[in-house]
Amino acid sequence: MEFFVRFILVLLNIVAIIIEPIVVWLNGEEKKKIPAAKNPLINLSANEVIYRIRHGELKSEEIVKVYIDRIKEVNPYLNAVIEDRYEEAIKDAKRADNMMEIVAPEQRAPLFSRYPLLGLPFTVKESCALKGMSQVVGNIHRKDYRANDNGKSIELLRAAGAIPLLVSGNPEFCMSWETSTHLFGKVKNPYDTRRTPGGSSGGEGALNGAGASLFGVGSDIAGSIRIPALYNGIFGHKPTGHLMSIKGHFPNSIDPNMGRYLQVGPMTRFAQDLPILTAVMAGDEAAKMDLTTRVVTKDIKIFYMDSNGFTLTHKPVDFDIRLAIMKAVAYFKKSGCQTEKADIRNMSNAIEISMSTLLTLKDVPSILVDPKGDPVSILNLSVSFYQNQPIKKSYIASFDWLESEIDLI
């Protein structure tokens, strides 16, 4: 197995070296500059929005419309939206505002204790299951598929009062470090539309990086939150295994180790929002984490690497990335942190280790098996690929929990 994995990686590197200049030439696109955000509300963190809504300084409908307008403004450049629910989101926001009007000011503290994200808009990676919305995940045989229920983390966010606006792009079966599919096309980086936003949570990375999402929900098994966070200049968190439920995510597996590697997590422009978002999305598991204790800088010890060593299977770390790492280390050291260069044994074998680990997972869906479980031949897959054109649809999902709460008051 080890020899086979290494042979495939070396072969892929050789192919990449040969075809990369050809692909760059064929895809010679003009760099487009996305419009700057003009509304100052875009610059508020989720915590600041919560404060303003709670104190009557901002209405949910207003912030929801601000983000809808921003999405419509930048998505022609990014191609990050697969399916939206804007009309229903505005109705949800009006319900949240009605609740605020009904509840007396002195009752708002317990209201926000129960609904800590009341009225906040957010966006969702398509693979994470938003009820009634597309969950095609780039696959031709799933092109009309819709999620029957909310994924667990989405359910928790909605129960906390947050309002989903859309589902965003991801590669087929989330198995790529860029975001491009035949059905939905290529998602682009907001800083340079000729470049990738990363993957597999590339749609969320692009939207958040463009100021078109207050926060988003991504998923990560091998960098799918962390890579788009890096590429789009935002913050993303992949929690420790089994802290977040992956119920409803596609692809998934009955293998008990799946939840150890695959996790759902928040993506946002504001690091200060990560604790509350993580706590809400973790549900009962949040009790296992300490998200409120302030960390003293001098108590932090940072281990870093600027290279994984030379092998034929890995590309060397880019000079600009190494320079950025050293700048960050110098900053942390100046701020009082302890820093130490790490020498992690076998890091040069990281890709082989991770690939071998993922290959041991059982019952992971394959593009060569249709949703009914029947095998798909390469020929039939190719024919389907060329017969199908990119699809765009709109769907309005329900939002009953808030309406029922208003009835109870």
DSSP labels, 205-240: HHHHHTT--S-EEEEESSSTTHHHHHHHT-EE--PP
Strand bridging mode 235-236 / 216-220: unpaired
Q: Is residue 13 part of a domain?
A: no
pLDDT for res 297:
82
* Paired strand residues for 368: none
Q: Write out the E strands in 169-294.
A: 180-181, 185-186, 216-220, 235-236, 263-268
Q: Is residue 48 part of a domain?
A: yes
Q: Is residue 19 part of a domain?
A: no
Q: Which two tokens stand for residue 161?
A: 């009062």
Q: Which of 200, 201, 219, 245 is catalytic?
A: 200
Write the CATH number for 74.
Answer: 3.90.1300.10
Q: Is 377 a catalytic residue?
A: no
Q: Which of 59, 125, 152, 238 is catalytic?
A: 125
Q: Is 224 a catalytic residue?
A: yes
DSSP 326-363: HHHHHHHHHTT-EEEE---TTGGGHHHHHHHHHHT-SS
Give the tens place of pLDDT for each residue, 356-404.
Answer: 788 788 888 876 566 666 666 554 555 444 444 443 333 333 333 333 3
pTM: 0.87
Q: Which two tokens stand for residue 277?
A: 């978002």
Q: At what angle do helices 86-102 and 400-408 cross, to 10 degrees?
A: 20
DSSP 353-375: HHHHHHHT-SS---TTB-TTS-B
**DSSP 3-state percent helix, strand, coil across the chain (nearest 5):** 45, 10, 45
Q: Is residue 118 part of a domain?
A: yes
Q: Is residue 260 part of a domain?
A: yes
Q: Is residue 324 part of a domain?
A: no
Q: Which two tokens stand for residue 328?
A: 């960050």
Question: How many folded domains does the chain comprise?
Answer: 1
Which residues form the domain of 50?
31-293+373-408
Q: Which of 131, 224, 238, 245 is catalytic?
A: 224
CB 53 within 8 A of CB 154: no
Q: Is residue 137 part of a domain?
A: yes
pLDDT for res 296:
86
Which parts of the chain have pLDDT scores under 50?
379, 383-409
pLDDT for res 146:
97
Q: Is residue 306 part of a domain?
A: no
